[in-house]
Chains A and B, each alone.
Chain A
Amino acid sequence: MDSELFGVVLGYINFVFFLFTMILFIMFIIMAYFSTKSSIHYRNKNSFTDVSKIMASPLAPTITIIAPAYNEALNIVQNIRSLLSLQYVNYDLMVVNDGSTDDTLQKLITAYDLVKTNEKIDPDWNSKPVRGIYKSKNKAFSKLTVVDKVNGGKSDALNTGIALSTSKYVGCIDVDCLLRPDALLHVVKSFIQRSQKRVIAVGGVIRVANSCIIEGGQLEEIKLPKNWLARFQLLEYTRSFILGRMAWSRIDSLLIISGAFGFFEREIALAVNGYDTDTVGEDMEIIFKMRRYMHNRKEPYTIEYMPDALCWTEVPEDVKMLINQRDRWARGNLETLFKHKDMLFNSKFGRLGLLSYPYWFFYEWLAPILEFFGFFTVVFFAYLGILDWNYFLAISMAIYFFSIMISFYAIIWELYSYNQYKKTKDILILMGFALLEPFLFHPITVYAAVRGNYKKLFKVKSGWGSQVRKGFTKAA
């Protein structure tokens, strides 16, 4: 009887894994379909668009780019120079020095001829004290404002910037990101193109800049990363941004905008009190809050997503750094999902509650944990001799070929839409990495996710960690 009962339990485990996998297949196939439709639509629609029209228009709305900086003395001056040369009339750049312990502020003061102003922040605004607000004496840098404040983390720095800005829109970016010169034109267009819905946020693709050649703050030549880890991440980003987010945006259920390149309507960002300073997943959390706020107001709104390659950044090339980054993402994910747990299967929030949130819960948060324990269960069952090898092989092969199919499909769309990597060798390398990814890269991300969840659930103290950037390759 006991062995029969054990058999029933095993049967259920098999069935749950089978069901979980089938739903995953279906979800990804639907996502591939939506992203295809969305990409084609975007391409067609934009063939009629000339974004340069916004450049000198008297109706161009104001936008503030907020770039928090913490111990960025090495590259801050060059990075700011690049951000000051964007093609748009009505923008300003606010660099928030978040209590750097190096000479970040001094370098900025010297390089941009800054002087302290009398500007004040709302004393009731909940962020760490501002030590000074600086503007340049040189008119060539009139767009630049530097805010020096007590250290409070990235979210706190961004909140200070949001409170001090007077623009209609605010952009929160990583100071070391490289933006295409026309990036703001695309962003502004995305904000103002809708007539039926209010666009409360705009997000975009983050591209991998490792090994690319940069000249004078501009991307000179796009190259495939030389580092193996960066190549895996490139493949992962392509799949995630071109297929995943494109599909979610098609059904207006996007729940995350990358912290490295996210733009918001300032009024709504202020209404939800900006970023949450208690989470490391602040970029996801603010979107949850803004969506919730708009749902409660019953006002038609949307979040736009641009698939254009506008923002380039360096990804970690070191396993330890990658694990730290993914560990942080996992913690942020868990914190946000927990904070907004009332949305799960809540029809009041429409597609968000019934589709988007459950997907994030089961396939972004739970899947790595299941995979992790599944792996050890398989090893254990194999050791006990009770593993159904036929079933194990069938489901593993199905998942493996499915993952390759999806990766190849993402590469097709990358080629069709943007064709960034023109060499045949590069495409073959990417496809080769797609074959290896489930064995080499995926286990690392699963481990990092489990570690992040462990830290969060067992309250192991952990912060943002740090990433040492190599700096972009300069043109010869």
Chain B
Amino acid sequence: MLSSPKHNILAIITAPEFSLDFLWTLTFIFLTLAMLCFVGIFLIRNSIGAKAIRTKNKKMEFSPMISEFLFYEESNDIEEKKNYLHLKIEIRELIKDRFDRNVFTEVLMDLRKDLSGESKEALIHLYKDMGLHNDAFENLKSRRWQVVSKGILELSTMEVNESYSLIIKFINHRQSTIRKQAEIAVVNLKEEGITYFLDTTKYKISEWEQLKLLDVLRHKPNFEPPQFSLWLTSKNADVVLFALRLIKYFKQTDAVKSIITLLKHKRRDIRVEAIDCIKEFYFVDALPTLKLVYPKASADVKIAILDTIGEIGSKNDIGFLEIIQKREKNFNINSKVIGMLNKINPESILPTKHIETEAFFTSNLNDNALTEDEIKTVTDEFLEESKDVEADGAITVNENETTYASILGDQDEVTETDNYENIAEKQISMDIVPPVSEENTAFTNSMVEKEDEEENREPLFTLDVSLQEERIDTDSDSTSAANSSHQQEDIDWSQIINKDIPNLQLGHAIQSDEKPFISFENGAISFSANFMDEDELETMVLLENIAEMGDRRELFLLNQLLEENESPLILERANELIEKFSHQLSGPNELFSSDDGLKNSVFTKIFHLSDTATKLILLNEIEDIGDEKEIRLLESLLLDQNKWIAKRAKAIIEHIRNKINEKECSETILKVTLLPVGFELESDQNLTNALNQKRKI
């Protein structure tokens, strides 16, 4: 009876049994499910399609009705008022159906984004008038988070202020979407909403939420921000962070001590934000604390601190920066320190990498030192060239070449025995020379005085110092000293200008036809923009006008200007404007501003306020009753993103043109029939020709 031990072992290690029927059952189940999915694909597809079509039709039905409401005025005549009332009753009937009501609300919500002013008020009035806000109130009672959120969004968008007291209950709701919608709504609905929110919120505020809240505040008309420094003491760290950001945005500078204290906050983002505020508001008092917190800060905070010290620091902070520069091993931080050192004290750190040693140049000079004769030859060549220019009759050597010696002054006079190394050194020491720019004419004048003193000095050789392209950094102290000395002195302008004004054009290429940009007439100095030719000037004026009044529609013209012009000034300005306008979004009212052709059509305004469905209805209207006034509007639609609209516009343009042609023809025929009998044959010929021409057109 007993099986052998071997058999027992095999029985124990035999693989677990499983039923094949189970596998076949699974096969059958999966087959059925696959078939259900197959059917489901088409059911869902049809359902989505049918719903989309129904929604589209409803939107097309509602859009013109809503437009009527938006542009209704109390001053309309009785007939229009009657129509208005009928329309209202009709809409009330239509929105009894839940689906229709939802579509109607959806259309209103979409329109709300694009409207402002009276139209917005009319829209909100219509929403409330139809009792749709009651649905939203009902939604607030739902147990489903998406329904409640939808209700809050609707009430907030439609500015139903009565809902404020109901919505504030959700401000600390545990469901994040409801909570976030409630926060936005509370801030949006009432002025005091932001203070209530900051006072009561218990949850963390995400960056996204902060961004949206700031967006609401930014676009709130006549918003008077409270003193956000009050919330810097909040227990909720996110409130503190948000308050700092609001302080920075609304430029509230009343919280110096609190902000400095926040440099020691445990949270890094708060520290960074506080540093940003300090930099923004130039809180010099924060410098000791910034230095205090520096050692234990993370790399990015260190960089932010250094950036701020560079911005608000003075020469007193150089010692601190130098210590850091020696100790800091992080490449990015070290680069920052060097940058900041040079910012506070220009050129305190000089390039060290790939620089040859002094010995390299000295040995070179020893081997190939220039003899006195050679130096003389070079000088003579220079002078010879300058005289050539003089010979052309326009400019003299002294007027157009700044002498090296005259710039350097007594101490820096170059002697014939100076070698190249000395010259190089003297070139570096030229940092006393101010940058020649329009902003710095005062300093330039002081230099003119200096040159006046030196005018009798014989130059050894002259150098054309190009100061226009490369701005030489000057020591700020010497600059200010020069400026102040200049202010104190009483200058004889006529003498200076008569003698030396051409010298102001240092760095300009020597051009015989170039006119001076400063002139002296009737004892007064006048500055003229003669350095720009007329076309260039006109283009610049055009660009400035575009900057003031233009928008993204000017992008095409700007690109054209870029292609047509080579002037760096124009290119720079055009590029600036392209960048500026590229960020602008196209708005619905764009077309009203400049195009008179568009203003001619009564459809223009309503057209650009409508959604696609309404636009198509309006196009039908234009087809029926439109005339030549509508052509400009239609032409502007030929490039519409919506292909249907573009296609319809094209067809209607043809239709209107045909209509106009027919009208003109019939008028011509009428005129012809009124002509004397003797002209009949000739007139017929003329008419045929005219008709043929029209057809060709």
Residues of A participating in the B interface, judged by any CB pair closer than 8 Å: 1, 4-5, 8, 11-12, 14-15, 18, 25, 44-45, 47-48, 52-61, 89, 120, 122-125, 138-140, 142, 189, 191-196, 267, 390-391, 394-395, 397-398, 401-402, 404-405, 408-409, 411-412, 415-416, 419, 424, 427, 431
Contact = CB atoms under 8 A, between A and B. Distances in A.
B347 interface: no
Interface stretch (B34-42, B254-262, B464-472): B34-42
B15 A405 contact: no
Contacts of A189: 208
B34 A404 contact: yes
Given A44-B146, A391-B20, A405-B33, A11 B15 contact: yes
Given A120-B335, A192-B211, A195-B176, A15 B18 contact: yes
B44 interface: yes
A15 B206 contact: no
Interface residues of B, number: 57
Contact of A89 (B37, B215, B300, B583): B583
Q: Which of B24, B153, B207, B210 has the most CB of A within 10 A?
A: B207
B215 A57 contact: yes
Contacts of A397: 24, 27
Nearest to A60: B211
Interface in B532-586: 571-572, 575-576, 578-579, 583, 585
17 contacts: A4-B10, A11-B15, A47-B150, A53-B211, A58-B214, A58-B249, A59-B210, A123-B331, A138-B575, A140-B579, A195-B203, A195-B204, A394-B20, A402-B30, A408-B40, A409-B37, A412-B44
B98 to A, nearest CB: 18
Interface in B284-340: 300, 331-332, 335
A342 to B, nearest CB: 29
Contact of A61 (B20, B206, B207, B332): B207
Given A14-B15, A195-B205, A415-B44, A405 B20 contact: no
B34 A194 contact: no
Contacts of B300: 267
A176 B278 CA distance: 43
Contacts of A196: 204
Looking at B38, B181, B249, which has the most chain A CB atoms within 10 Å of its CB? B38
Query: Which of the listed residues B41, B203, B212, B335 has the most CB atoms from chain A within 10 Å of its own CB?
Result: B41
A419 B44 CA distance: 11
B579 A192 contact: no
Nearest to B213: A59
A394 B27 contact: yes
Contact of B37 (A11, A18, A391, A408): A408
B89 interface: no
Count chain A CB atoms within 10 A of each CB in B14, B24, B27, B575 and give the residue with the most. Answer: B27
A195 B207 CA distance: 7
B333 to A, nearest CB: 10
Contacts of A60: 211
Nearest to A410: B37
A411 to B, nearest CB: 6
A194 B48 CA distance: 32
A189 B176 CA distance: 15
B78 interface: no
Contacts of A395: 23
A122 B332 contact: yes
Contacts of B176: 195
B335 A398 contact: no
A431 B14 contact: no
Contacts of B579: 139-140, 142
B34 A427 contact: no
Nearest to A394: B23
B23 to A, nearest CB: 4
A378 B579 CA distance: 66
B211 A8 contact: no
A108 to B, nearest CB: 18
A59 B44 contact: no
B41 A427 contact: yes
Contacts of A57: 211, 214-215
B214 A59 contact: yes
B18 A18 contact: yes
B13 interface: yes
A22 to B, nearest CB: 9
B177 interface: yes
A75 B181 CA distance: 44
Contacts of B23: 18, 391, 394-395, 398
A398 B30 contact: yes
Given A25-B26, A59-B245, 18 more contacts: A5-B10, A8-B10, A11-B14, A18-B18, A44-B146, A45-B177, A53-B211, A59-B214, A60-B211, A124-B331, A139-B575, A140-B579, A390-B20, A394-B20, A402-B30, A405-B33, A415-B45, A431-B38
